[in-house]
Amino acid sequence: MIITSFMIAVTVVAQDGITVCHTPATEKFALFASNKKFNDDHQAPRLYVHHSTEGGKMITFQCPDGSTASAYVIEAKKKSSNWIVVFQEWWGLNDNVKRQSEDFFKDLGNVNVIALDMYEGKIATTKEDAGKYMSEFKSERGMQIIMGAQKFVGKNAKIGTVGWCFGGGLSLQASLTYGKQAVACVVYYGMPEENIDRLKTLNADVLGIFGTKDGWINTEVVKKFEANMKAAGKNLSVKTYEADHAFANPSNPLGTFDEAAYKDAYKNTVEFFKARLK
């Protein structure tokens, strides 16, 4: 069996009756789906149909166990070893995530982008379905998809990872898994890794983007992440905004979306990647 940080027991303070002790880091976040307030904080995403102008397409790739997984891929016009691996919010790999992936592709330049389908074809349009899909997530299967993507991009790829909410935690776990190939990791209000020994293996610099009004990945969680990264001797830059959870989701204009915070966070994300994917 492959032992990963998904499978390492960790302990955090329980919130609103959610039992999260001894739960793997990413599945710990998935437990929030059982909380009504967490669900109510997420308004249904706006209807959007993405039509790629950059040649984006869905592909399948092989995982280490012989199974297959899916992803949305945009390849650089001129061959590049730089890759951005994108992780969805709890809604799934919907057209809003594909549009965001294409924004990264256009604004970064000289990169390939691959957005992984962690729900394997399931896309939620209601918070009830989103909660169901996130709660059904299995860490072992998620790791197969993450490792399959690493094989797909190739052993010479320089990899940046980024994700939001549920995908924010996956972004960090992927960078931990990708070893020396990982050079940049962006976490938007996702669940951090708490195991310091595991964090010591991290090669990538990390940019953490959080909202001070976030009741889930709250100030206490962020401070602990900063302390753990410092103890591990790793580089973490933190950007905080007077905003709520999911503030950087432009598909949620009637909910917690904060346009000013989103634009600044996106600018910082692009600059962070550009500095490390040259």
Identify residue 156 by its one-letter amino acid code: N
Q: Which domain holds residue 265?
A: 5-276
E strands present in the chain: 57-62, 68-74, 82-87, 112-116, 158-164, 182-188, 205-211, 236-241
Phi/psi for 12 (5° steps) reads: -135, 170
- DSSP state for residue 37 in the 8-state scheme: H
> Is residue 187 helix, strand or coil?
strand
- DSSP state for residue 25 in the 8-state scheme: H
* HSE (side-chain half, CA atoms, 13 Å) at 217: 32
Nearest to 277 by CA among 159, 180, 156: 159
Distance between CA atoms of 64 and 33, rounded to whole angstroms?
Answer: 29
Nearest to 29 by CA among 37, 50, 38: 38
Is the pLDDT score of 54 beyond 50?
Answer: yes
Distance between CA atoms of 7 and 140, rounded to whole angstroms?
Answer: 8
Per-residue model confidence as pLDDT tens digits over 148-159? 999 999 999 999
Q: What is the 3-state secondary structure (H, E, C) of 85-111?
A: EEECCCCCCCHHHHHHHHHHHHHHCCC
Nearest to 182 by CA among 151, 230, 150: 150
Determine what percent of the chain is predicted with pLDDT higher than 70.
85
Is the pLDDT score of 170 beyond 50?
Answer: yes
Is the pLDDT score of 210 beyond 50?
Answer: yes
> Is residue 192 helix, strand or coil?
coil
Distances (CA, A) of 241 to 19, 181, 192, 236: 28, 30, 18, 16
Q: 13 vs 151, which has greater pLDDT?
A: 151
Q: Taking residues 224-235, what's their average pLDDT?
A: 98
CA 55, distance to chain mean position in Å, is: 23
Distance between CA atoms of 105 and 277, rounded to whole angstroms?
Answer: 12
Residue with tokens 């790739």: 61
- Domain count within the chain: 1
Determine what percent of the chain is predicted with pLDDT higher than 90.
77
CATH of residue 251's domain is 3.40.50.1820
CA-based end-to-end distance of the chain: 36
Threshold 0.75, pTM exceeds: yes
State the pLDDT at residue 21: 35
Nearest to 146 by CA among 87, 58, 211: 87
Where helices occur in 81-218 by DSSP H, the ranges are 95-108, 127-135, 139-153, 166-177, 196-199
Per-residue model confidence as pLDDT tens digits over 103-136? 999 999 999 999 999 999 999 999 899 999 999 9
